[in-house]
Amino acid sequence: MPAKPDYGIDAPGVVRNLFLVSLAGLALALFSPKFVTIGPVTLAVRPSGWGAAIGCAIGALLMLLYAKVGKFYHRDRMLKLHNWRGDEQVLDVGTGRGLLLVGAARHLTTGHATGLDIWNKEDLSANSLERTEQNLAAEGVTQTCSLVTGGAQKMSFPDNSFDVILSNLCLHNIYDRSTRLQACREIVRVLKPGGVAIISDFKHTGEYATTMREAGLRVERKLPSPLTFPPLRILLAGKS
């Protein structure tokens, strides 16, 4: 039997650092003087330590809650934005360990779902092609899916290849703005006329929307999703 699917922890380094800062703040609050005077300035050390400890611990716990619970609800919300027929050609940009890819594959009968990623472990814990293949096998969708290694900014697919393009928490990881916008234009290029792109992220969604509108797509931005941290906004873009 395939192992139980595991979709990892998003931004594991951020979660780790939040916990470390929380511990440092706790140590500061417990063992430092209540106030420290530096020249004419008096600093409230202990209250600052408690604030850092509590704030960072809450942030880390909310990110873990999203990784273990919230992203499954968020995936379902994204997939419900398309009226599935079953014959679609689907692309998941930045598929990671395949959560969106698996969800899309379960809506298909004669269609096919392709996952694209560079498998960066900084973006998702233990992110790798092999781990994603294990998840596809565990979920029973291997025959419906294929995986491609590559970046979003220069896709190897022909023009007008996909009916549905999905992406969650991927594009912001392209730090160079011009390259990030090129990835948006690549999504437009490989999307079929009549197709839809459903893109989710916690920042730059206005930038994505502007780029896709300039390319001729009809774009709608949804309100941030509940049970996501940071709050994730969904962009729904249709191609005429």
For 209-228, what is the mean pLDDT?
94
Which pLDDT band, with edges at 50, 70 and 90, does 40 fall under? low
Residue 228 lies in domain: 74-238
Report pLDDT for 17: 95
User: Which tokens in the block code for residue 101?
Assistant: 């890819």
Do 184 and 89 lie in a common domain?
A: yes
Report pLDDT for 45: 52
Q: What total of structural domains would you count in the chain?
A: 2
Q: What is the C-alpha separation between 183 and 204, in angstroms, rounded?
A: 13
Do 84 and 173 lie in a common domain?
A: yes
Q: Greater confidence, 240 or 39?
A: 240
pTM beyond 0.85: yes
Backbone angles phi, psi at 80, to 5 degrees: -70, -10
95 vs 22, 131, 149, 180, 214, CA distance in Å? 31, 12, 10, 17, 26
pLDDT tens readout for residues 45-75: 566 777 888 999 999 999 999 999 999 999 9
Do 163 and 87 lie in a common domain?
A: yes
Do 38 and 81 lie in a common domain?
A: no
Closest to 200 (Cα-Cα) out of 192, 208, 212: 208
Are 184 and 191 in contact, with CB atoms under 8 Å apart? no
Are 113 and 1 in contact, with CB atoms under 8 Å apart? no
Last residue of a domain, one of 53, 72, 91: 72
Do 148 and 36 lie in a common domain?
A: no
Handedness of CA 119, 131, 15, 78 (dihedral sign): positive
Report pLDDT for 2: 60
∠ CA 213-148-222 to the nearest 5 degrees? Answer: 30
Do 136 and 216 lie in a common domain?
A: yes
Do 48 and 104 lie in a common domain?
A: no
Do 64 and 88 lie in a common domain?
A: no
Q: What is the C-alpha separation between 179 and 152, in angstroms, rounded?
A: 9
Whether 5 is covered by a domain: the verdict is no
Q: Greater confidence, 48 or 214?
A: 214
Which pLDDT band, with edges at 50, 70 and 90, does 44 fall under? low
pLDDT, mean over the chain: 93
pLDDT tens readout for residues 117-155: 999 999 999 999 999 999 999 999 999 999 999 999 999
